[in-house]
Amino acid sequence: MQSRIMSAVESISNVLIGYLVSVAANIIVLPMFGYNVTISDSFAIGLAFTAISLARSYILRRVFNRF
């Protein structure tokens, strides 16, 4: 069984890695669709999608815990 501290470390690592993947994907993928994004734009877009992902994960976890 995983300790609470290790659960927190896992969750934080997951979010940070997901954020960095999102930023990299923005830099690579968006120009393929004609969107010119700066590095700061990519970080901001990544932050927005990370917040959405966190909210989605939290809501789904609460729904599944209810059942």
Domain ranges of the chain: 4-66
pLDDT > 90? residue 21:
yes
2 close to 10: Cβ distance less than 8 angstroms:
yes
pLDDT > 90? residue 8:
no
pLDDT single digits (tens) 22-56: 999 999 999 999 999 999 999 999 999 999 988 99
SS3 label, residue 47: helix
DSSP structural state of residue 36: -
47: closest CA among 16, 9, 12? 16
What global pTM score does this model have? 0.78
| Burial profile 27-61: b = 16 or more Cβ within 10 angstroms, e = fewer | beeeeeeeeebeeeebbebbeebbeeeeeeeeeee
